[in-house]
């Protein structure tokens, strides 16, 4: 039998280039800085890296506003640097995934500069343009995620253009077949270069409703979740018409047909829709995306019931597809603070890593999770994120999870010899890589130990999953593969707990090797320390 594809059950380490390591002293991380630290990444026991955007950009949204999707921005280095990164990663056994931002571009992209000039130029229909209403107002009520209306007036054409994000990030018109072909050509450029996978940013935003129908209002009690600030008017609507259109399924099939020419390459879609779990199931069924993830575990809801409900709902809707789970990334508060509060103990970081890596699917871990980094408090005068600047002070944006990696405990944390683009908090320097390398009991060593152990457990990488009925705050699940059954128990609370296992898993015997804080098992009786766990084999 052939082995499963590399991405199935893989742990993918997300690198945010601006904040990983700066090689030239300008205070901004770059591709040579990543290359310098790839040995460290490989030592973590992960399978792949996902490198967030490094393409040419005016940096209005720090790289997600792309002016040239085939060029490396000089801030980050050169195309030759990327080729060196790819070569070294592969030599270390790491796969390389890169972001692809297909739904929109920068306002400085050559396509948009041409499109905005007139209504009859060769790229006039490459973006979403619409006439104003008779009173001059935008064509409908659609709102932008980063605040305000989703339409910007362009005097050259006497029309509005659509932007689901910043006004400097116009949406491409995927109803135009030339746009779809051009997008696929850009993807092909990187696949030909040798990348192993694509993380598809906001992939359900490629198409809009042709009729430009208004989005219906959402009642106040439903204006929650999905990672949006509660005071953001974006939460006031059901976003039925500005994203997640049925035409997108056909485009995903065309994208998959392209990927099939590169048999080892995989596509991971980021989903944020009104029913993200259903959209994930649709987007991974048949010959579409290989994997998808959404924001359900990137919210503040930390309970065994929420995690179980999320996973079981997706399992019911996705019998054939493959999920990818994430509990942290560059868009949300760091999980140790978000789920553990201001006084979260470092050992909770290892519990959370073990938990997400025990779910069925692949996993994205965000740089710094292996150190147990907390959300940084960034003062207003140091904020860079346009989202945070727009909603200050009730929402402080995403800078708190984007502060530079602490490599040592010096003033600039070994990140740069210059002035870092975001301040590095003192508590992060206390959790620096150099300090944790010297401490056998550190979060970093616990992370490495668990990842290396997980690699030797086929049931955890690719087995089936079912949950065990246990009281809060304990999450219990069983992974099974080829007759092997692994029971995993996680105490999400700070207090120790005694419990009796149900009959279905009562005949279990503990096994370890993962190196994390664990409980004890005596017959059917389990004792779990606060934020402790236990793995057992079920006979």
Give me the active site residues, please.
201, 270
Give the whole-angstrom CA distance, residue 153 versus residue 133: 12
**Secondary-structure breakdown of the chain: helix, strand, coil percentages, each rounded to the nearest 5:** 30, 20, 50
> With contact defined as beta carbons under 8 Å apart, do 156 and 118 qualify?
yes
Rounded to 5 degrees, what angle do the CA atoms 373, 405, 65 make?
105
Go through the chain and tell me how many residues it has. 539
Burial of 207 (0-12, 13-18, 19+ CB in 10 A): buried
Alpha carbons within 13 A on the beta-carbon side of 455: 11
Least Cα distance to 168 among 75, 57, 70, 270 occurs for: 57
Helix axes 304-317, 276-283, angle to 10 degrees: 40
Q: Report in angstroms the alpha-carbon separations of 254 from 31, 181, 258.
A: 31, 9, 6
Placement of tokens 């015997």 in the chain: 509
Give the whole-angstrom CA distance, residue 205 versus residue 207: 6
Least Cα distance to 203 among 102, 338, 120 occurs for: 102
């Amino acid at each position: 039998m052939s082995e499963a594809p590399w991405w199935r059950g893989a742990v993918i380490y997300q690198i945010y280039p601006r904040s990983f390591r700066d090689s030239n002293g300008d205070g901004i991380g770059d591709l040579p800085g990543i290359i310098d630290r790839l040995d460290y990444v490989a030592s973590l026991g992960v399978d792949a890296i996902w490198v967030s955007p490094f393409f040419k950009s005016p940096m209005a949204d720090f790289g997600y506003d792309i002016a040239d999707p085939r060029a490396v921005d000089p801030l980050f280095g050169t195309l030759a640097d990327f080729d060196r990164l790819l070569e070294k990663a592969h030599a270390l056994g790491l796969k390389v995934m890169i972001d692809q931002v297909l739904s929109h571009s920068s306002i400085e992209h050559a396509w948009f500069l041409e499109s905005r000039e007139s209504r009859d130029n060769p790229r006039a229909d490459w973006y979403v343009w619409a006439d104003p209403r008779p009173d001059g107002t935008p064509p409908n009520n659609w709102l932008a995620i980063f605040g305000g209306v989703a339409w910007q007036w362009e005097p050259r054409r006497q029309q509005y253009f659509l932007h689901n994000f910043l006004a400097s990030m116009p949406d491409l018109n995927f109803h135009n077949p030339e746009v779809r072909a051009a997008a696929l050509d850009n993807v092909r450029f990187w696949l030909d270069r040798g990348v192993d996978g694509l993380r598809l940013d906001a992939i359900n935003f490629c198409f809009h409703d042709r009729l430009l129908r208004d989005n219906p209002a959402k009642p106040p009690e439903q204006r929650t979740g999905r990672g949006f600030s509660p005071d953001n008017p974006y939460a006031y609507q059901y976003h039925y018409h500005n994203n997640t259109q049925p035409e997108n399924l056909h485009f995903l099939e065309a994208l998959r047909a392209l990927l099939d020419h590169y048999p080892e390459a995989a596509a991971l879609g980021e989903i944020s829709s009104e029913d993200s779990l259903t959209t994930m199931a649709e987007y991974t069924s048949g010959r579409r995306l290989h994997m998808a993830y959404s924001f359900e575990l990137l919210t503040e809801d930390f309970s065994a019931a929420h995690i179980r409900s999320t996973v079981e709902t997706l399992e019911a809707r996705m019998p054939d597809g493959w999920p990818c789970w994430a509990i942290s990334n560059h868009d949300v508060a760091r999980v140790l603070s978000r789920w553990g509060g201001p006084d979260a103990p470092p050992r909770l970081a290892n519990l959370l890593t073990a938990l997400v890596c025990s779910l069925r699917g692949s996993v994205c871990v965000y740089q710094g999770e292996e150190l147990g980094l907390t959300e940084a408090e960034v003062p207003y005068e140091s904020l860079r994120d346009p989202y945070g600047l727009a909603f200050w002070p009730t929402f402080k944006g995403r800078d708190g999870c984007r502060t530079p990696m602490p490599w040592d405990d010096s003033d600039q944390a070994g990140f740069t010899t210059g002035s870092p683009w975001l301040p590095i908090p003192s508590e992060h320097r206390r959790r620096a890589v150099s300090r944790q390398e010297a401490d056998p009991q550190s979060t970093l060593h616990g992370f490495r130990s668990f990842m290396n152990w997980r690699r030797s457990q086929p049931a955890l990488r690719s087995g089936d999953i079912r949950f065990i009925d246990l009281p809060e705050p304990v999450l219990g699940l069983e992974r099974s593969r080829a007759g092997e059954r692994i029971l995993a128990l996680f105490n999400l609370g700070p207090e120790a707990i005694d419990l009796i296992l149900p009959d279905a898993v009562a005949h279990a015997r503990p096994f370890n090797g993962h190196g994390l804080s664990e409980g004890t098992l005596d017959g059917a009786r389990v004792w779990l320390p606060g934020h402790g766990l236990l793995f057992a084999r079920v006979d």
